[in-house]
């Protein structure tokens, strides 16, 4: 459809106005990504349940809401695709944003850790799972000419979220207490996501930027094969990708969940440890475009191996040399590699299995993120409870990274032509 019959966006021609949709998506994802500030809540929640309520809680107990949240995020996301088309991006984002805010708000009334699992973990996690993919879909539709850039900028907000939300959480916890901080986050998130979602919409069918035509295939260029979900599940490439994604997410989400307490363990003052969570978020956000570019330029296998080598080195350093400088370097790398896997995995899914059944294919691949969300923080909590320190986590992550290198090198390669069903 020609530009002349396409309504303006924000009073501008669509080619310019569409950038505002990217900005809105980035801010929506920044709100949704406040889960990445969870490590700031770990100690205050432990003190609240043990001191104020007189309950016995462990590190695993307080880390489990983080795992439950991310697991339900991963489970809910694959089911959202068809509803975006049916009800529109605005309505789906509002539903997801309100549920996320309610998760935070209801968590403030929790009088036991299991209540946190339900209120924060399940309700909030489903909310993020519903809303997360909508701004990405909007950006992808409006930017057929610059899809990678637009989508990368949109999801950047999720990765950078802790840069802002961790410091806000630290301030509010100090000023008003941990449960009031949950209330503040919940109310603000509901209001912001409703307002930010209002302008979201897809372009009319057939719209393309003025003067742009899809590029013709280059001679000799690799042709992406088209798999449906059942065909993808029969390939070794899928299982290699899933296993690698799981290891990358386990290491990264573990690092996110314990970033602040490990910082204080190595001698960093509490306020600075909170600020460093925000600093690490820069690497989480920046890892997405960096590893996305590496995946495009040097193949998914090589990008995955680079990630695992970095994870292994960071874990080795934390295991052997426990200092402030090593902590900052190692956790920046671990957060950055998690962001990297949130670019490597979706890019590889499209590259290996095509885009014809992409939402359902990547929905299954994304379950590796949910599995990593459960395993990573729970591994950290178990070791903390068993040994009294989080440092015992890092030999396990080092071993998993070595396994990841082997899997990526031997199995992570383009699949063969799918069989017809």
Give per-10-residue mean pLDDT for the chain (421 aa): 58 86 93 87 89 80 85 84 82 96 94 91 94 82 73 79 87 93 96 95 82 60 69 93 94 82 84 82 84 82 95 92 89 91 83 72 84 84 83 89 96 80 50
Domain ranges within the chain, ordered by starting residue? 12-209, 227-421
Q: In this structure, which CATH number among 1.20.1250.20, 3.20.20.370, 3.10.350.10, 3.40.50.2030 belongs to the domain 227-421?
A: 1.20.1250.20
pLDDT value of position 339 = 87
Contact call for residues 113 and 42 (beta carbons, < 8 A) = no
pLDDT value of position 58 = 79
Strand-pairing partners, residue 12, are 9
Global confidence as pTM: 0.75
pLDDT value of position 220 = 43
Give the N- to C-terminal CA distance of the chain in Å, as an integer: 35
Q: How far is CA 387 from CA 101, 384, 390, in A?
A: 36, 5, 8
Placement of tokens 């990526």 in the chain: 408
pLDDT value of position 351 = 78
Which fold, 12-209?
Answer: Growth Hormone; Chain: A; (1.20.1250)
């Amino acid at each position: 459809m020609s530009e002349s019959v396409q309504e303006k966006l924000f009073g501008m021609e669509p080619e310019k106005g569409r950038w505002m949709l990217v900005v809105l998506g980035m801010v929506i994802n920044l709100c949704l990504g406040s889960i990445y500030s969870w490590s700031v809540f770990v100690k205050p929640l432990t003190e609240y349940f043990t001191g104020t309520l007189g309950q016995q809680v462990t590190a695993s107990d307080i880390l489990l809401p983080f795992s439950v949240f991310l697991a339900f995020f991963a489970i809910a996301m694959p089911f959202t695709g068809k509803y975006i088309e049916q009800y529109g991006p605005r309505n789906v984002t509002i539903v997801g944003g309100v549920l996320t805010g309610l998760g935070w708000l209801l968590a403030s009334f929790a009088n036991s850790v299991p209540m946190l699992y339900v209120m924060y973990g399940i309700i909030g996690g489903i909310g993020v799972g519903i809303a997360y993919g909508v701004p990405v879909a909007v950006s992808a539709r409006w930017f057929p000419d610059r899809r990678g850039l637009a989508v990368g900028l949109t999801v950047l907000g999720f990765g950078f979220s802790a840069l802002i939300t961790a410091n806000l959480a630290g301030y509010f916890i100090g000023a008003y207490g941990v449960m009031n901080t949950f209330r503040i986050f919940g109310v603000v998130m509901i209001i912001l996501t409703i307002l930010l979602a209002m302008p979201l919409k897809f372009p009319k069918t057939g719209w393309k930027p003025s003067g742009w035509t899809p590029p013709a295939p280059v001679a000799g260029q690799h042709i992406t094969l088209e798999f449906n979900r059942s065909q993808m599940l029969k390939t070794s490439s899928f299982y290699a990708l899933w296993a690698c994604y799981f290891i990358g997410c386990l290491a990264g989400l573990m690092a996110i969940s314990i970033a602040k307490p490990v910082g204080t363990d190595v001698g960093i003052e509490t306020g600075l440890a909170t600020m460093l969570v925000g600093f690490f978020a820069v690497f989480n956000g920046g890892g997405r475009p960096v590893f996305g570019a590496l995946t495009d330029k040097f193949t998914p296998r090589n990008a995955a191996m680079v990630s695992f080598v970095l994870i292994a080195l960071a874990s080795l350093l934390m295991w052997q040399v426990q200092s402030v400088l090593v902590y900052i370097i190692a956790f920046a790398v671990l957060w950055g590699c998690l962001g990297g896997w949130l670019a490597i995995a979706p890019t590889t899914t499209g590259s290996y299995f095509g885009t014809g059944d992409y939402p359902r294919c990547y929905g299954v691949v994304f379950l590796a993120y949910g599995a990593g969300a459960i395993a990573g923080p729970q591994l950290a909590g178990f070791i903390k409870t068993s040994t009294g320190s989080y440092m015992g986590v890092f030999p396990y992550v080092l071993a998993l990274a070595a396994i990841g290198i082997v899997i990526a090198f031997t199995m992570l390669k383009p699949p063969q032509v799918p069989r017809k069903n």
